[in-house]
Amino acid sequence: MSKDKKSAIKDDFQKLENIINKLEGQKIDLEESLKLFEEGSKLVKNCHSQLKKAKNKFEEIKLDLEKEIED
């Protein structure tokens, strides 16, 4: 994972943490809660996608290594 991608996922997790803190700790109206929930949902999808890509890359590297070792 490149430095930019690491930074992006780190930023997304920080944004998620901030959203969670707002939803749990502040008295906000329903409209703002829905807006934050929607933003958080998008961030979760993005993080999941990035982590899935990283996992797939890891598996690809692992399989390549296993093939080399077997030869």
Encoded tokens for 62? 């692992």
Residue ranges per structural domain of the chain:
3-70
Q: What span, in angstroms and rounded, lies between the C-alpha atoms of 17 and 9?
A: 12
Per-residue confidence of the chain (71 residues) as pLDDT tens digits? 565 766 889 999 999 999 999 999 878 999 999 999 999 999 999 999 999 999 999 999 999 999 988 86
DSSP state of 45: H
Encoded tokens for 47? 């993080």
pLDDT score of 1: 57
- Cα of 3 vs its chain's centroid, Å: 15
- Cα of 43 vs its chain's centroid, Å: 7
pTM: 0.76
